[in-house]
Amino acid sequence: MRNQIAAANWKMNGSFSKGKELLETFKENFNSLPDFQQIIIAVPYPYLAWASQYATSFMHIAAQNMHHQTEGAFTGEVSAPMLNDLGINYVILGHSERREYNNETDELLKQKVELALKHNLTPIFCCGEPLNIREAGTQNQYVQAQLQNAIFNLSADQIEKVVIAYEPIWAIGTGKTATAEQAQAMHEHIRTCIQKQYSFETSQSISILYGGSVKANNANEIFGQTDVDGGLVGGASLQANEFVAIVKSLVA
Ligand code: PEP
């Protein structure tokens, strides 16, 4: 069975005390999870070292980004080896907010993904189309190009270590969720692209998360789709009870 994952992306929200409250609540609610279920919490950089104390075999702390080089004169940046130092083993790469506000391109993301894997960090690689592309009906080609340009250079062994998050930009933080059918259709398309590029086995082994206004009241239906293996959750991950319910919606 593929890993079922509930990933939280706090973005630049909250505070130390709010983060503590959230992590304490998750710790209290989850003493254990089945082997194939994982919780990943992507916290802001300053909290990474502290948050690591909450990491368990099933609850991981993640970074929200990392630089594409290992060291150097890059003021304000954080490197893969620094994440290694803290025992961090997941990193979100290519979130649409970074693509938009920090001009991150597929070419840059290709370098980041390769570097993350080289340093034993699991990339949560984000892809997804903006509204105008969805309205034009060309979302399949758009997402396929993102995969092709940023991660299809990897070997089968490498890509099997990547988690993919499909996040339609028009559904992020807007309260507009893709319907379960829209999510399933794109996840199936992504899996087919992987199958064509690699193999059926590889396509079946990769966890593909849905992101875009996942809440406790829609997680069950979305996570219940054949090709959806959990979610990447922004807003709702900042409300302890919401995120606990979302984790409980993972397919058992
Ligand atoms: C996200 O930022 O990855 C996200 C999916 O946000 P939200 O759940 O708030 O739409």
At 174 the pLDDT is 83
Q: Which residues line ligand 1 (CB under 6 A)?
A: 9, 167, 172-173, 211-214, 232-236
At 72 the pLDDT is 98
CA distance 222 to 202: 23
At 210 the pLDDT is 97
* Residue whose CA is at the smallest distance from ligand 1 atom 4: 234
Show pLDDT as tens, one digit a residue, over the chain (252 residues): 899 999 999 999 999 999 999 999 999 999 999 999 999 999 999 999 999 999 999 999 999 999 999 999 999 999 999 999 999 999 999 999 999 999 999 999 999 999 999 999 999 999 999 999 999 999 999 999 999 999 999 999 999 999 999 999 999 888 788 999 999 999 999 999 999 999 999 999 999 999 999 999 999 999 999 999 999 999 999 999 999 999 999 998
Residue 101: how many CB atoms within 10 A of its CB? 9
Strands 4-9 and 230-233: parallel
Contacting residues for 205 by C-beta, under 8 A, at least 6 apart: 2, 160
Measured from the Cα of 235, ligand 1's closest atom is: 9
Measured from the Cα of 167, ligand 1's closest atom is: 5
Taking a C-beta distance cutoff of 8 angstroms, is the pair 65, 93 a contact? yes
At 249 the pLDDT is 97
Which residues are catalytic, by number? 95, 167
How far, CA to CA in Å, does 137 sit from each of 62, 86, 130? 33, 43, 11
CA distance 120 to 49: 18
Please indicate, yes or no, whether the overall pTM of this predicted structure exceeds 0.75.
yes
